[in-house]
């Protein structure tokens, strides 16, 4: 859970303090929970204005996950040769283990799928899964069609409805040329995004979110 923290240098050196009662109550009724880790004090992964504030708990927490897992801002992943990139970050339960699935789509139709699973919310940099695959053009086209049918590019970034405690958090980013969009939802509120995300994570990345090697199982 979010805690009052003082950040040291680099990715280590955090001083964790006991959360106040007010913070605890806030988290109890807030939206997607972003784990038991030190929030990123300097998020650079999301364009300004995507969240209400780049210092919001979601922006800081997701930035810390992505940086710990050696990810880059999506804008750094696109080029003339690779004009489309999509990335989903899932904060699973009960260990708050982060899952990243990133799909690169080149202009010639060749694609690369990168999959990473962090051990738990406190150790996202320790990867229990790290693999790449080359999905077929047919499968990539199917994902893109599902995404268009879901209306991803016009969805609001954050969902105002309170979420159930214990629900996994999902964040989907997309960049197509110079157009960027991001949507955050808890699992029960994915709505039309469920089909494209299931296809990306289960169909293409071949992940079973219910039996990931995370938490005690992720210990080597």
Lookup: tokens for 34 = 């972003």
Is the confidence at residue 30, as pLDDT, over 50?
no
Whether 174 maps to a domain, the answer reads yes
Is the confidence at residue 117, as pLDDT, over 80?
yes
pLDDT of residue 149: 98
- Torsion angle (degrees, nearest 10) of CA 211, 193, 195, 143: -100
Count of domains forming the chain: 1
Whether 56 maps to a domain, the answer reads no
Query: Rounded to the nearest 5°, which phi and psi values hold at 132?
Result: -130, 155
Cα–Cα distance for residue pair 16/207, rounded to 1 Å: 33
The label of the residue with tokens 């998020």 reads 43
CATH number at residue 156: 3.30.1560
Q: Which residues contact 53 (CB under 8 A, 6 or more apart)?
A: 59
The per-residue pLDDT for range 183-206, each reduced to its tens digit, is 999 999 999 999 999 999 999 999
Instruction: Tell me what the pLDDT averaged over the chain comes to.
Output: 81
Cα–Cα distance for residue pair 183/40, rounded to 1 Å: 19
**Mean pLDDT, rounded, for 154-166:** 74
**Mean pLDDT, rounded, for 61-68:** 92
pTM beyond 0.85: the answer is no
Domain coverage including residue 99: 79-211
Q: Which residues contact 190 (CB under 8 A, 6 or more apart)?
A: 170, 197
Whether 50 maps to a domain, the answer reads no
Report the relative pairing of strands 5-6 and 179-186 from DSSP bridges. unpaired
pLDDT of residue 174: 98
Is the confidence at residue 52, as pLDDT, over 70?
yes
Whether 23 maps to a domain, the answer reads no
Is the confidence at residue 51, as pLDDT, over 70?
yes
The label of the residue with tokens 């970034």 reads 157
User: To the nearest whole percent, how much of the chain has pLDDT over 90?
Assistant: 63
């Amino acid at each position: 859970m979010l805690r009052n923290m003082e950040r040291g240098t680099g990715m280590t050196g955090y001083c964790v303090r006991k959360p106040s009662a007010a913070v605890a109550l806030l988290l109890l009724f807030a939206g997607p929970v972003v784990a038991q880790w030190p929030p990123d004090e300097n998020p650079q992964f999301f364009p300004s204005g995507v969240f209400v504030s780049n210092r919001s708990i979601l922006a800081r927490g997701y930035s810390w996950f992505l940086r710990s897992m050696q990810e880059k801002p999506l804008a750094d992943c696109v080029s003339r040769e690779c004009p489309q990139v999509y990335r989903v970050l899932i904060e699973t339960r009960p260990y708050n283990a982060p899952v990243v699935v990133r799909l690169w789509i080149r202009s010639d139709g060749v694609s690369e799928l990168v999959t990473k699973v962090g051990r738990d919310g406190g150790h996202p940099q320790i990867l229990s899964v790290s693999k790449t695959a080359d999905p077929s053009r047919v499968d990539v086209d199917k994902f893109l069609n599902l995404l268009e049918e879901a209306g991803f590019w016009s969805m609001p970034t954050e969902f105002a409805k309170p979420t159930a405690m214990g629900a996994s958090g999902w964040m989907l980013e997309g960049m197509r040329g110079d157009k960027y969009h991001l949507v955050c939802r808890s699992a029960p509120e994915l709505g039309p995004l469920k089909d494209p995300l299931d296809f990306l994570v289960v169909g293409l990345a071949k992940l079973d979110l219910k039996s990931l090697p995370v938490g005690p199982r992720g210990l080597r």
